[in-house]
């Protein structure tokens, strides 16, 4: 029995095999009648392949062997990812038929609530079975499991009334999550729009949008006049704890997975010192978000990161906002140099050669304050989203068995 139930239900759940409650789809796309190729994304569910990848991946001459997925059929994608350790099972919620790779397992279900099954397959309850009965085969990114074994997947089901009640609950929760996701995305789009308008674009010396009271051209300034490189080393200590520099999160404490035993063996190892308001970037990952300001305080981090102090006559929040610009990142990327094993390096001396158009300090403060408030608002809405996602995760663990 699940740990948490609606009070009006008390009957036992019945265990069924997937093959007992579903039928495998064997119908193929003969004569290439259907052109809509689908993919089952672990993060986004069943979507058009062309929309997901922004291009066609499937060979149009070979789609006659693809299986047909009608609306409300389920698709198992054996490809593993950080979002789905054993591959996702998702329902086709699109309004028209599509076709999927023969590597997918497609099935229809009868006499069960679809929203209940959606969330059962979103939970981890079925993972142990696939772990025991499947293997990664020749490719470590894909689970290999026979159709006959997948049909033996055990699923514990309540009566249809309880299924419907659970399904409706999660449907409402999903709508709340979706609405919150849209709030976060709208704020991020608003920020992207302001970044485009409130900083000069390539070749321009004034932005398209300014606060009232400011006029005149911005001055092109070399980063050497804005930043001062920091390369001080120190062992981990109470005053300078060892931390991580994480994409889009900045300087944060090491995760619980960090091996403290390894630290004991390296007590004399030195790391780079960073202080509050330092500007930091990762040569390898700055394009994906490993660039920003230290908002945590005194710490030591890996020497692979480049650390700079922002000079006193420049606004920290303005510089942080500027570092999100495509033009800023483009100018950085021009100095990328290959080192070894696919690693890249943007040397600090090259970073300091970059030039950008900068406003006077009063306009910097005005712009920096606006983006600071906007970032705080995004952070607040992101926290609300995370709480809803954690709430769903908790209920998935407690309301299924």
Three-state helix/strand/coil letters over 247-309? CCCEEEECCCCCCHHHHHHCCCCEEEEECCCCEEECCCCHHHCCEEECCCCCEEECCCCEEEE
Domain boundaries, the chain: 14-158, 160-214+359-401, 219-357
- Cα 171 to Cα 391: distance, rounded to the nearest angstrom: 13
| Among the ranges given (29-43, 135-149, 227-241, 270-284), the one the predictor scored with the smallest mean pLDDT | 135-149
pTM of the model: 0.85
Asked if the model's pLDDT at residue 85 lies above 70, the reply is yes
Res 266: pLDDT? 66
Domain 160-214+359-401 has CATH 1.10.10.10: no
Q: Which residue shows structure tokens 């991580």?
A: 244
Protein fold of 14-158: Adenine-n6-DNA-methyltransferase TaqI; Chain A, domain 2 (3.90.220)
**Residues 278-290, mean pLDDT to the nearest whole number:** 89
Res 257: pLDDT? 44
Q: Can you give the three-state secondary structure of 358-398, one letter per residue?
A: ECCHHHHHHHHHHHHHHHHHHHHHHHHHHHHHHHHHHHHHH
Asked if the model's pLDDT at residue 11 lies above 80, the reply is yes
End-to-end Cα spacing for the chain: 6
Q: What is the CATH number of domain 219-357?
A: 3.90.220.20
- Cα 134 to Cα 155: distance, rounded to the nearest angstrom: 17
pLDDT digits over 312-323, tens only? 999 999 999 999
Please check whether the two domains, 14-158 and 219-357, share a CATH topology.
Answer: yes
Rounded to the nearest angstrom, the gap between the alpha carbon of residue 316 and the centroid of all alpha carbons in its chain is 27
Residue 205 class from Cβ within 10 Å (0-12 exposed, 13-18 middle, 19+ buried)? Answer: exposed
Asked if the model's pLDDT at residue 265 lies above 60, the reply is no
- Cα 287 to Cα 270: distance, rounded to the nearest angstrom: 27
């Amino acid at each position: 029995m699940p740990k948490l139930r609606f009070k009006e239900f008390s009957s036992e759940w019945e265990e069924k095999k997937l093959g007992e409650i579903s039928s495998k789809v064997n119908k193929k796309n003969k004569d290439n009648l259907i052109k809509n190729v689908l993919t089952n994304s672990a993060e986004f569910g069943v979507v058009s392949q062309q929309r997901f990848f922004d291009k066609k991946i499937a060979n149009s001459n070979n789609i006659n062997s693809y299986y047909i997925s009608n609306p409300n059929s389920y698709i198992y994608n054996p490809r593993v990812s950080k979002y789905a350790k054993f591959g996702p099972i998702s329902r086709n919620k699109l309004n028209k038929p599509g076709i999927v790779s023969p590597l997918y397992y497609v099935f229809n279900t009868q006499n069960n609530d679809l929203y209940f099954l959606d969330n059962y397959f979103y939970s981890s309850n079925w993972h142990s079975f696939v772990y025991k009965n499947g293997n990664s085969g020749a490719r470590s990114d894909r689970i290999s499991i026979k159709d006959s074994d997948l049909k033996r997947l055990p699923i514990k089901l309540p009566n249809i009334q309880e299924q419907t009640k659970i399904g409706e609950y999660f449907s409402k929760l999903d709508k709340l999550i979706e609405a919150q996701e849209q709030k976060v995305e709208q704020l991020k789009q608003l920020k992207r729009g302001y970044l485009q308008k409130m900083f000069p674009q390539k070749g321009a010396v004034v932005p398209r949008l300014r606060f009232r009271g400011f006029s005149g051209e911005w001055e092109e300034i070399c980063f050497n006049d804005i930043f001062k490189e920091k390369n001080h080393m120190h062992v981990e200590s109470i005053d300078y704890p060892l931390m991580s520099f994480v994409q889009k999160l900045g300087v944060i404490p090491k995760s619980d997975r960090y091996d403290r035993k390894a630290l004991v063996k390296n007590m004399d190892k030195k790391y780079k010192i960073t202080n509050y308001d330092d500007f930091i970037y990762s040569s390898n990952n700055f394009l994906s978000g490993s660039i920003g300001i230290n908002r945590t305080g005194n710490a030591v981090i890996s020497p692979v990161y480049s650390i700079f102090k922002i000079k006193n006559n420049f606004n920290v929040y303005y510089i942080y906002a500027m570092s999100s610009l495509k033009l800023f990142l483009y100018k950085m990327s021009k100095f990328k140099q290959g080192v070894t094993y696919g690693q890249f390096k943007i040397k600090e001396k090259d970073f300091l050669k970059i030039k950008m158009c900068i406003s006077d300090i009063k306009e910097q403060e005005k712009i920096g304050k606006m983006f600071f408030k906007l970032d705080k608002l995004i952070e607040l809405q992101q926290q609300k989203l995370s709480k809803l996602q954690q709430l769903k995760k908790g209920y998935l663990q407690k309301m299924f068995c």
